[in-house]
Structures are given as structure tokens and as C-alpha cells.
Amino acid sequence: MKLTGKPELVNIIKNRIKEKGSISFKEFMDIALYYPELGYYTSDKSKIGGYGDFFTSSELDPVFGQLLAKQFAEIFKKLNTDNFQIVEIGAGKGYLAYDILSTLKDEYPNVFEKTTYFIIEKSPYHIKLQKELLKDFKNVAWKQDIIDFEDNSIEGVIFSNELFDAFPVDVIRKKNGQIYQIFITLDENDNVIEIEKPASQEITEYLNQLKINLPEGMTTEVNLDAKDYIMKIAEKLKKGYIITIDYGYPSKELYKPYRMKGTLLCYHKHKYSENFYENVGLQDITSHVNFSALSYYGKLKDLETVGFTDQAHFLTNLGLLEIFETLQEIGDYRSYERMNRLKTLVIPKGMGEKFKVLVQAKNVENPLVKGLEIMPPQTDRYKLW
């Protein structure tokens, strides 16, 4: 199989392989997604929405941001601080930030006045879009990374929507009872060849710490960067919450035998494939998040897991049904059109069940929040341990 995609990026990957002999799948994925100016996420290309490769919840309707603002207002009241900080990691085009800030300004002015909204964004393309969209809000600031904050400096909420699924991952395989790591190399005709090497110590420690026992023959992913990043985030939080919205499962569900090929997928123009080596730099590559790992490694940094639910329950708890009722009462064409969009956020087997919400807290008394009021049935899909 040939590497195809952006010629310059493909050549960078080939040269890296020739220089080292082989590179891990994680290194390949990192270059494909994040190489400066050429990677999928770092290039000037529309990725989200109708002209992009996928939709996010914030693209569908402002209600997603409106309900998150309602949750943040409750958190503000719990923390009782005059220096409330909302930190969004990876803000895309900025629509979600706009909806949250607009709602706080209109419906919770006392919260808005005491809030600084930070956006952590590495993409120059997205920063430009965000700054244009949010130019009327004077309480917005940008940072390159969470490490730019001092330790124990944030009082408020740190949240992300579809962040961890885009982290580069190691691909691993269990074969004859042993765990191997997938590397890629090139043959004499420049075809991509996958090879197996004994898994690194960090990977085996990860599997042991989370008590993951893979079925024989399974090929799947390990997201070590997510483990490291949740601990970095926790170190920056002095008092408040970390809310992670993404698609994925706990370990018990993620590594079941019917997922023998893992969860890695590519998205290009709203179509998915399992060919990671085509459209390099032009297609998204994602994997499901292991929420048990975020909970476990967060706990090592004093994060308490408050609750784990799905997007449907989270948004419904925050008042989505009341919005449906209001639209139904209006009953015009636009209202019904909007209702159809809102259904996408909560329908089973769609975004409502696919997307999960993990709420963690630090130094908060009685940390339960409204978004966790009613929880889904506690099957393996929701049992973190």
C-alpha cells in the first residue's frame, strides 16, 4: 500500500522512516495530524461542518453551548469565587465559546462579569477564526497549551469537546499471549509495511495499571498522551471541575472481543475508512477514548470522579426537554427544523449515546452537578471500574 496525500508531508514521513528504519504508528499519526502547517489539524483547511470532514455537537445548534453555560453557572455558584475561569481546550471554529459566552452575558450577567474565558489552541488557522468570531467579548484570552498556566492557578472549569479522540495513539496487538507494538516501514517499492515489535515498558505498565487483559489476537490502541495530559490538566486546577466530552468507553467495554480490530477510523468529507495511509494530511484519524484511564490517572493528581454519563442524559438533565417543549409550542417550520437538529444530539445509537461526559472535581465540597442528576443504567458502558 502506497502512502498518498499531501506530497510534502508524505515525503517527510518517508524520510523519517528511511532515517530510522521504522517509526511507530503513533509517530506516523502525530506527523499526519500535527506536523507544522502541513498536518491535518495544523493546516488552513475547513475540517468541521458541511464543507469539512465531520460535525461536532456545537456545529448543530447553539443549545449545546447554552446548556453548558447553564452548567458552568451552577459551578460558579458552588465555587463562590470572584475570579472564575473557564478554560476550553481545542475550540475549533469558536462556535461553542461564542454560544457559552453569549448565554452567560444574556442570562447570567453576574457570572459573565466575573469570568475570564481562556482558549487553548495550537492551530493558527483556528485562532484566526476564533478571534474574529469572539472579537466583541473582552474577557477572552488565548494560550498555546495547558502548561502555560501556573500549577494550582485555575479556579473554575476546564473542559473539552472532542479533544482526546484526536491524540496520536500507539497501536498494539496481542499475539501468543504477548503484547506487540505496531511500527511501519517501507519495502523496496515504497509500499507501507506494518511490523510488530515488543511493546514498550510504558505500554505494558499502562495495561497493568488499568488491569486490561486483551483478548488473544486483538489489535487496538493505547492513548498514552491522554494519560499524561489529564494529569497535566489536574496539576493546573486549584479548585473546580474538569469536564470531558468525547466518544469512547470504559476499559470493560472498550476491549471486549467484538472490537478485535480496535476503534481507529479516518474521516474525509463525511465518509469514514480504515485506510490510515491514504489522504495523509487531508483526513482525520481518531480513536475512542478510554474514560477509565482519564479517571484513574486523574485520581493520581487528586481529581475526584464525580460522574460518568452520556450526552443525552447530561443535556436532558440541564433542560433540553424544556427547550423541545417551547419549540413545539411555537410550532412553525423553523421550530420543527431546529427540533430535528436537537434530536441528533440525544438520539440513542447517535450522538446522544455515542458521546460520553466525564465530570471530575478537585477541592469541591458536594461536587455533584445538575448534568449528572439522572444517570443511565449502569452497564459495562458506564462502569469505569
Long-range contacts of 74-78 (CB under 8 A, 24+ apart): 74/369, 74/370, 75/156, 75/157, 75/240, 75/241, 75/369, 76/108, 76/111, 76/114, 76/115, 76/156, 78/364, 78/366, 78/367, 78/369
Q: What residue ranges define each of the domains in the chain, with the CATH number in brackets?
A: 7-362 (3.40.50.12710)
The whole-model pTM stands at 0.93
Q: Is 201 exposed, middle or buried (0-12, 13-18, 19+ CB in 10 A)?
A: exposed
- Alpha-carbon distance 296 to 301, whole Å? 9
State residue 202's pLDDT score.
Answer: 98
Write out pLDDT tens, residues 234-278.
999 999 999 999 999 999 999 999 999 999 999 987 688 889 999
Angle at 58 between CA 57 and CA 62, to 5 degrees: 120
State residue 324's pLDDT score.
Answer: 75
3-class secondary structure, 54: strand
pLDDT at 224 over 70: yes
Helix, strand, coil abundance in the chain, percent, nearest 5: 40, 25, 35
State residue 339's pLDDT score.
Answer: 73
The per-residue pLDDT of the chain, averaged, comes to 92
Grid coordinates given for 154: 485555575
- Alpha-carbon distance 179 to 218, whole Å? 10
Write out pLDDT tens, residues 44-57.
865 444 444 445 66
Instruction: Kindly report which listed range (109-113, 187-191, 221-225, 343-347) carries the lowest average pLDDT score.
Output: 343-347
